């Protein structure tokens, strides 16, 4: 550290620190009470807070300006790779989130080929018949379902078809268990390969998925189709860059995990909010019935304006990813506070999305806040960030919204749904937002 840097640090404001009790509560309560813990930190200590124990220092930054500072990273201060490697590197290594700089940009350019308009149009054609069949099964099997597992099963079936061209069956069920083990392991407190514990189960799930996808890759090279795996076998950037086999496998595993988990999360939260606010469910239904087409395609999806506002409001209230971490690769100063190299620096969409100084009545479900006349999310460039931002903005955001529109459009045209009287959804807020009870709903077919 240079003399000038030392002097600058000495003149900086001291960073408020969380208490020992707060630090001890964090790892045990964060999954189910992330928003409450984050709010308490912000309200007690201010917009910059040092928290955590042990050798890794975590600094929390709050508010949209902090989001912009971290996500745009104009001065090259932060590493996404190093932060996500600590969380999921041994489980989901090689994914786009776990890459930085030129390496990240190179891979992103190649992966973009799997989400071009032509690819998204093909994906919507593949999704719609499966959605239609699944909703028919829900209706025929009775009027009560648990929404989260039902959506998860459908999202995984669509992911297998779209990403690797695999039909549903025993093999898909086995691979689903592998995915679930990997996601659970990414949040394990005890990260030791001890047989029977969730971290070891996650490592085993990764091994099985890698073996299976490697076999599929060889088949797709010999006989390519319209699935993502086939597209990545042939994809190259404008500069002629291509992915090797291991990179394709790593990216496909990560994309499937991210796509089906976040889509399931958003669909479940949207279903809950539309049951809690049936007037909005009816507005969406009226829009879809007037749409004139039984299915949504990539080409016509933008006509569903009310549904889109409801999706965006759901992502505000229940962002699938509650936190976004980075590692500082050098000392820096933010808002007069000196923060050291090696610190974990974290921002919180789940908190920013409910800040009363930025949002009108932020606890209320109000999709009209996204309408052309209001556009509250545009009060700051980094106020609404369910898909992240900067170089690491979610590559599959258009695909995710397309999936949700396709499913919800068909659902509202065929059924109404309700939740039990007085019900409030108990939410696990991290690592992925989801209901702890599966979200029970009752379906009533439309005549």
Give tens-digit pLDDT for 123-148: 999 999 999 999 999 999 888 999 99
Q: Which of 19-23, 112-116, 171-175, 419-423 has the lowest mean pLDDT?
A: 171-175
Question: Is the Cβ–Cβ distance between 310 and 275 less than 8 Å?
Answer: no
User: Average pLDDT, whole number, for the chain?
Assistant: 91
* Confidence band for 6, pLDDT divided at 50, 70 and 90: very low
- pLDDT surpassing 60 at residue 1: no
Q: Which of 8-22, 284-298, 349-363 has the lowest mean pLDDT?
A: 8-22
* Confidence band for 11, pLDDT divided at 50, 70 and 90: low
Rounded to whole angstroms, the Cα distance separating 289 from 447 reads 13
Residue that wins the pLDDT comparison between 53 and 297: 297
pLDDT on residue 369: 98
Mean pLDDT (whole number) for 414-421:
96
Residue that wins the pLDDT comparison between 430 and 359: 359
Q: Percentage of residues in the chain with pLDDT exceeding 90?
A: 69
- What residues have CB less than 8 Å from 220, skipping those under 6 apart? 164, 165, 227, 229, 230, 233
Question: Is the Cβ–Cβ distance between 332 and 380 less than 8 Å?
Answer: no
Question: Is the Cβ–Cβ distance between 436 and 427 less than 8 Å?
Answer: yes
- pLDDT surpassing 80 at residue 10: no
Rounded to whole angstroms, the Cα distance separating 161 from 335 reads 48
CA distances from 371 to 6, 22, 312 (A): 49, 39, 10
Q: What is the fold, at CATH topology level, of the domain defined by 3-445?
A: Cytochrome p450 (1.10.630)
- Counted residue by residue, the chain has a size of 447
pLDDT on residue 54: 60
- pLDDT surpassing 50 at residue 2: no
Give tens-digit pLDDT for 184-218: 787 777 777 888 888 899 999 999 999 998 998 98
- pLDDT surpassing 70 at residue 260: yes
- pLDDT surpassing 80 at residue 183: no
Most confident of 31-35, 46-50, 224-228, 426-430: 46-50
């Amino acid at each position: 550290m240079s003399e000038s840097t030392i002097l600058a640090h000495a003149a900086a404001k001291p960073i408020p620190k969380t208490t020992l009790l707060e630090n001890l509560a964090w790892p045990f309560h964060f999954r189910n009470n992330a928003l409450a813990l984050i709010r308490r930190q912000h309200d007690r200590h201010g917009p910059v807070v040092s928290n955590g124990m042990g050798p890794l220092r975590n600094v929390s930054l709050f508010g949209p300006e902090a989001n912009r500072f971290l996500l745009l990273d104009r001065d090259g201060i932060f590493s996404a790779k190093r932060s996500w490697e600590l969380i999921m590197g041994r489980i989901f290594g090689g994914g786009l989130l776990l890459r930085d700089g030129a390496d990240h940009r190179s891979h992103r350019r190649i992966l973009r080929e799997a989400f071009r308009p032509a690819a998204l149009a093909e994906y919507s054609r593949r999704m719609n018949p499966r959605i239609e069949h699944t909703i028919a099964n829900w209706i025929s099997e009775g009027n009560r379902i648990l929404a989260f597992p039902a959506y998860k099963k459908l999202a995984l079936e669509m992911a297998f078809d779209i990403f690797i061209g695999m039909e549903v069956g025993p093999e898909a069920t086995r691979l689903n268990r592998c995915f679930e083990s990997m996601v659970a392991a990414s949040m394990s407190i005890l990260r030791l390969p001890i047989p029977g514990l969730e971290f070891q189960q996650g490592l085993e799930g990764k091994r099985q998925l890698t073996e299976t996808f490697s076999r599929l890759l060889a088949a797709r090279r010999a006989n390519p189709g319209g699935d993502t795996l086939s597209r990545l076998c042939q994809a190259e950037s404008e500069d002629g860059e291509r992915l090797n086999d291991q990179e394709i496998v790593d990216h496909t595993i990560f994309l499937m995990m991210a796509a089906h988990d976040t889509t399931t999360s958003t669909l479940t939260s949207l279903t809950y909010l539309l049951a809690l606010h049936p007037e909005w469910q009816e507005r969406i239904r009226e829009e879809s019935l007037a749409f004139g087409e039984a299915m949504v395609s990539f080409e016509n999806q933008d006509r569903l304006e009310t549904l889109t506002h409801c999706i965006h409001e759901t992502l505000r209230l229940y962002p699938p990813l509650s936190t976004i971490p980075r590692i500082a690769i050098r000392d820096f100063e933010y808002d007069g506070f000196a923060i050291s190299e090696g610190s974990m620096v974290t921002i919180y969409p789940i908190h920013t999305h409910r800040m009363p100084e930025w949002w009108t009545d932020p606890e209320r479900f109000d999709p009209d806040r996204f309408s052309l006349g209001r556009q509250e999310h545009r009060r700051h460039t980094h106020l609404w960030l369910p898909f992240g931002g900067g170089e690491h903005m979610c590559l599959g955001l258009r695909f995710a919204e397309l999936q949700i529109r396709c499913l919800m459009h068909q659902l509202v045209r065929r059924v109404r749904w309700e939740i039990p009287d007085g019900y409030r959804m108990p939410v696990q807020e991290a690592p992925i937002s989801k209901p702890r009870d599966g979200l029970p709903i009752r379906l009533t077919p439309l005549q």
